[in-house]
Structure 1
């Protein structure tokens, strides 16, 4: 039996912090590795030691097994935990770790190999008696097989995955999926299978000892997905009959026993609720992002079990039963209303009420996060900011408390999917299970629309900004803001809110602040004095008092009230001419890399035609012509790194282009 004394986590963000939490409780030292872009994140300073991986991209850093093993040796680590993603399911890396004399906290490399290929693992499962969907190819698929799903063989998380509804599109989608899989996993192999339109994604958590012993820790439902990436996960999977749940557990046990599995793993199934049949999808030979819901319901620490098995200890002789219900949501820096475009930049605030981080016993909210207020969110990695997990005696209570915490969270600086998560947790089709399927967001596009904001947020922001400037004034700071000897028109403050601009008209003076548009609104008090620009504004709306917390920054005002919040960008009174661009310009929607250019100057293009393709946060994004016209400028080149708002091309509308040709 081996004793582990120092663990290096070959990963980043919240999973690194999660492993550190258990390691500290077990008395084990911790080592972080980090890219240059991640140097300021919490996981780096929380480790007992940290090693820099020079560079920023995954290929330069977290996918460099040689650098990670060298860091382990240099820091005195005797074990490596891979987390999830990156090298967690890379059998070659696992072998390199063992060859270096280090303990690999994961499955046997042969198990990773056997389950790492979705094509080969399906054959293995079929032989073990586990139901499978079957494989198709570009040549064998027919119209009767539609719709189809193209999937990456070597990875997960929605990368390299495409739904195909026409055979004519299949070859092109296979090519795109292969390119995305190659970029994300270093392996462009993809395969094709039938697509179950309204299936549920149900998975079973297992832990094996490597000697045939397998502990099954129930099932999770992960059906709510966007772009085939999970968004909401829960345990136990709701609405399953005891017969179906038992059959799922038995199938997962067979899968793990077939490869004498060692460590924590997840067997994923596609469940058809109409027929109550399920099919093997894949086995993830690692810890899953959604593992906290199983920990909350079963009262186990999966990382502790991983460590125990890696040290050669026996699995505990337990038969844990689920208690209560747990739901996890993934808070992403993305804009669901803009096709889930990733968001990058500085998190001005990220504050959520919670009971504990990375561990919780009993009723409450658990927060697993890799970021904090002030963190920079870059383009090189996944867009997930945090996981928020609620446990309650019932599913309804867990959903209600989680929605409330998200709604009250202070999140500023970047657009997130927070509103979508709240709408999902409160949606009748989610609560009564009628819409619980991988097609949920396609079936319910209303969840993509941001919730109606409190219409007083801009006014409150303008009041706080005016008071902040008055108090900070070098002279005449005792004169009320907006004071005039002769009554004049209202003062004006302009804010940018998302892509829109709003004007707030207000009055100031000895009588205090008031709205020029709302006679039913009275400002009761404005208090300032916080060193970080904080203030509290209390207003009365037709006899009902509301309190707003405000933070005034150099270029923005952050406002949070009882019905949500807003980041208000301060619009300068005079516009900088250098920031103006031509009306026909196509701008980069986010920072990223141009990976393909599909047009040239002078090309006549149709509406929707691809001009170029960008990659950001491991996902590909197509920049298309917004209308028919002619490409008159094209400054982007393949391989170029661009910032958000960069002019990539100019497409003159057809009528304008036509008039030039007629001259």
Structure 2
């Protein structure tokens, strides 16, 4: 946070505290500042007979918006002396208050000094408790029932230590409905396509939604948890990456692609984690990509395989998988904000030479036209989804192409364990006709939300990046900032109003875009 933002952030924090705890609950506390903190917590369990055990520690340092994304156990690069000291302090804290049941004692660990500091104790099982279950071979929910019934803890501390040594490492990834490339902005919508990784004794999914469900803005954006175990940390990371490659979601934005990048990050693989990890490695984690030609070709073949009638085709003509001599052109634009050529329109021409045999021509601005000949593709279509097995010269590519019925002309392509979002555009790409110039003269709600505060008033001159509106969605406050220098012409909503995604919030004077 910049110094100039402090008062605004303090005001926001006080309002949130007051809403949660009432008047008097908004007092600001000043605490010791740790330059490179790690978030490490210990899972404890106590019974009614005076016994208390620590079921290992979890590192929860990889966070965004001060909320956890990845949790793992054991904590990487933690010496045994510090580890056992953390366990001992956590157990001591629980015993000191006569605690009974499951609890989590949380600490801030200073990476520079090695010192750690008590932060809080959560008197319950937390979201990340499956990580501890994986490395100890336990069912902590069952333990809660047994302890509540007056039984003695099922395992001693010595037995737990032995299990942790035998069972290796576990990692949990939180699957969120959000757009990491847009500042982890929450998203909502209907899950029109959902394919999850296969589970086994080392891969677990705790999910709250299935295909067809709607994720609303009224609740937290987490839609599932993916937990994996490996004989060591390196194996666990690799299993996590492979499982994420088999996770397919269409209908709303998720952090799955971002999680894949995290798993490939050299710093994460080395265990060099801290709560500022994402900001520190931002350039690497959000490094732009180029959409490969094969992705556009597969999108075109997938659309063709759905076999719409000629009247329904946006570009006219038809392309079947049983007739030769048919030609059709498609125009795609990438929706991926990490695409280094985000605004380009790519033309793909498909020529059907024979049954399931095609040639393709890909045209991109500033590049030589590329021709791929003798593509063999066999599709299987159902409703809005097409599965393709395509043989390009020298490579076989298995692809799933999904057309979102709730978002006109949006195409999602899954192949090689990656996801690419495209939009099918008209052959003539005119800004004026599509209203792009008009859209830039206003600011819209990025998601369904409630207006908490208008930071400006009509007639105000604002600079690019200045706060305009504070909204609330999925239990989080988000500041909507000005995309440009300009003059506020109109505020479309007052505080307390509820808005749909895409609703205009602020309108600028007409010369704001000049």
Normalising by the smaller structure, the TM-score range is 0.7 to 0.9
SS at match of 1:607: coil
Taking a change above 3 Å as real, the CA distance of residues 188 and 210 of structure 1, as seen in their structure-2 partners, is farther
**Alpha carbons 1:423, 1:447 under 8 Å: kept:** yes
Q: Does 1:548 align with 2:395?
A: no
Secondary structure at the aligned position of 1:402 is classed as helix
Alpha-carbon distance, 1:656 to partner: 7.5
Shift in CA distance, 653/211, structure 1 to aligned 2, threshold 3 Å:
farther
Matched residue, 1:207:
45
| 1:310 corresponds to | 148
SS at match of 2:133: helix
Q: 2:416 aligned to 562, 565, 589, which one?
A: 562
Residues 531/539 of structure 1: CA separation in 2 closer, same or farther (3 Å cut) = closer
What is residue 367 of structure 2 aligned with on the other side?
none
Worse-matched range after superposition: 230-239 or 580-589: 580-589
Partner of 1:264: 102
Cα separation, partners in 2 of 1:179 and 1:455, compared to 1, 3 Å: farther
**2:379 is equivalent to residue 527 of structure 1:** yes
Matched, 1:235 2:73: yes
Instruction: Describe the superposition over 1:616-648 as per-residue Cα deviations: whole angstroms up to 9, x where unpaired.
Output: 111111122233321112111101111111111
In structure 1, what is the Cα distance between the partners aligned to 2:496 and 2:192?
Answer: 30
Indicate the residue corresponding to 1:426 in structure 2. 264
Native 8 Å contact 1:468 1:552 kept in 2: no
- Quote the residue 1:385 is aligned against: 223
Q: RMSD of the TM alignment (CA)?
A: 3.1
**Deviation (angstroms), 1:292:** 0.6
**Pair 1:418–1:521, CA change in 2 (3 A):** farther
Equivalent pairs counted in the alignment come to 481
CA contact (8 A) 1:586 1:649 kept: yes
Offset, 1:287? 0.9
Q: How far is the alpha carbon of 1:432 from its aligned partner?
A: 1.5
Show the counterpart of 1:645.
502
User: What SS class does the counterpart of residue 160 from structure 2 fall into?
Assistant: coil
Q: Which moved more, 1:255-264 or 1:307-316?
A: 307-316
Match of 1:286 in 2: 124
**1:174 is the counterpart of 2:26:** no
Distance 1:458 1:243 in 2: 54
Partner-residue secondary structure (3-state), 1:251: helix
Superposed counterparts of 1:93-242, under 5 Å: 166=3, 170-183=6-19, 188-210=26-48, 212-242=50-80
CA distance in 2, matches of 1:408, 1:521: 29
Aligned pairs for 1:23-34 within 5 A = none
Indicate if the aligned counterparts of 2:55 and 2:136 stay in contact, CA closer than 8 A. Answer: yes
What residue ranges of structure 1 are gaps of 5+ in the alignment? 1-163, 658-663
Cα pair distance change 1:590/1:535, threshold 3 Å: closer
Separation in structure 2 between the aligned mates of residue 406 and residue 320 of structure 1, nearest angstrom: 30
Aligned match of 1:537 in 376, 388, 395? 388
The 1:455/1:565 distance shift into structure 2, 3 A limit, reads farther
- Aligned partner (choices 244, 250, 266) of residue 88 of structure 2: 250
Aligned twin of 1:346: 190
1:560–1:522 CA distance, 2 compared to 1 (3 A): farther
Residue 394 of structure 1 deviates from its aligned partner by: 0.6
Q: CA deviation at 1:247?
A: 0.7
So what's the TM-score if we normalise by structure 1?
Answer: 0.67
**Structure 1: which 4+ aligned runs deviate by more than 6 Å?**
471-474, 481-485, 572-580, 653-657
After superposition, residues 572-587 of structure 1 pair within 5 angstroms as 581-587=438-444
1:237-636 alignment to 2 at 5 Å?
237-318=75-156, 319-321=159-161, 322=164, 323-356=167-200, 360=201, 364-433=202-271, 435-445=272-282, 446-449=284-287, 452-469=290-307, 480=320, 491-494=329-332, 497-498=335-336, 502-511=345-354, 512-517=357-362, 518-520=370-372, 522-528=374-380, 530-552=381-403, 554=405, 555=408, 556-571=410-425, 581-636=438-493
Matched residue SS, 1:620: strand
Per the alignment, in what secondary structure is the counterpart of residue 545 of structure 1? strand
Q: What TM-score comes out, normalization by structure 2 length?
A: 0.85
C-alpha distance in 2 between matches for 1:515 and 1:305: 60
- For residues 415 and 373 of structure 2, what CA distance do their matches in structure 1 show? 15
Contact 1:627 1:653 in 2 (8 A): no
Change beyond 3 A, Cα 1:521–1:615: farther
Matched position secondary structure for 1:300: coil
Q: Distance in 2 between matches of 1:411 and 1:582?
A: 28
Shift of 1:235: 0.5
Question: Contact 1:548–1:561 at 8 Å: present in 2 too?
Answer: yes
Is 1:480–1:510's contact at 8 Å kept on the other side of the alignment?
no
Query: In the aligned structure 2, how far is the partner of 1:355 from the partner of 1:324?
Result: 18
- Residue 175 of structure 2: SS of its match in structure 1? strand
How far residue 460 of structure 1 moved from its aligned partner, in angstroms, is 0.9
Q: Report deviation, 1:532.
A: 3.1
Distance 1:398 1:268 in 2: 24
Per-residue deviation, residues 382-427 of structure 1 (Å, max 9, x unmatched): 1112111110001000001111211232222222211221111221
CA distance in 2, matches of 1:182, 1:610: 22
* Contact 1:413/1:567 (<8 A) preserved: no
SS at match of 1:404: helix
Bigger shift: residues 505-514 or 387-396: 505-514
Q: Where does the alignment leave 5 or more consecutive residues of structure 2 unmatched?
A: 363-369
Secondary structure of the equivalent of 1:414?
coil
| Residue aligned with 2:236, SS | helix
- C-alpha distance after superposition, 1:144-190 (max 9, x if no partner): xxxxxxxxxxxxxxxxxxxx664x75554332212223446665454
Task: Flag the 1:334–1:165 CA change in 2: closer, same or farther, 3 A.
Answer: same
1:420 touches 1:449 (CA, 8 Å); kept in 2? no
